[in-house]
Amino acid sequence: MTKKYEVYLTEHAQKDLEHIFYYIASDSEDNAVNFIKELEKRVYSLECLPNRNPLIPENEYFGTDYRHFIHNKYRIIYRVSENSVFIVRIIHGAKLLEF
């Protein structure tokens, strides 16, 4: 049986999602809704095997143990802690992580 993790979005990640939604919605609200639904589905799939994705390169500079995966042009950056997964940021894939 696969261990289940609780997935939580930080305040930064929630704001990132809002910005992504409004950016896409400026062209098409339907596309924005569909994209966010797809993205959330991928995010919440982390409840199973969250360590399957690679560590981020920025860990070397920040001294962290964050992981990430890519969905379309966006990087979903998260950390695993005990039985929880915390989505830290959702940023454009061309950007490095900033705090």
Question: Which of these, 86, 92, 95, 7, lies nearest to 57 by C-alpha position?
Answer: 95
Q: Which domains does the chain have, with CATH numbers?
A: 6-92 (3.30.2310.20)
Tell me: pLDDT of 99 over 60: no
Tell me: pLDDT of 96 over 80: no
Do 49 and 67 contact (CB within 8 A), yes or no?
no
The top-scoring range by mean pLDDT among 1-5, 83-87, 93-97 is: 83-87
Do 9 and 17 contact (CB within 8 A), yes or no?
yes
3-state secondary structure of 84: strand
Dump pLDDT digits (tens) for 55-83.
998 888 888 899 999 999 999 999 999 99
N residues, the chain:
99
Q: What DSSP letter does each residue of 41-68 carry, written as one string? A: HHHHGGGB-GGGSPBPTTHHHHT---EE
Q: What is the pTM of this model?
A: 0.88
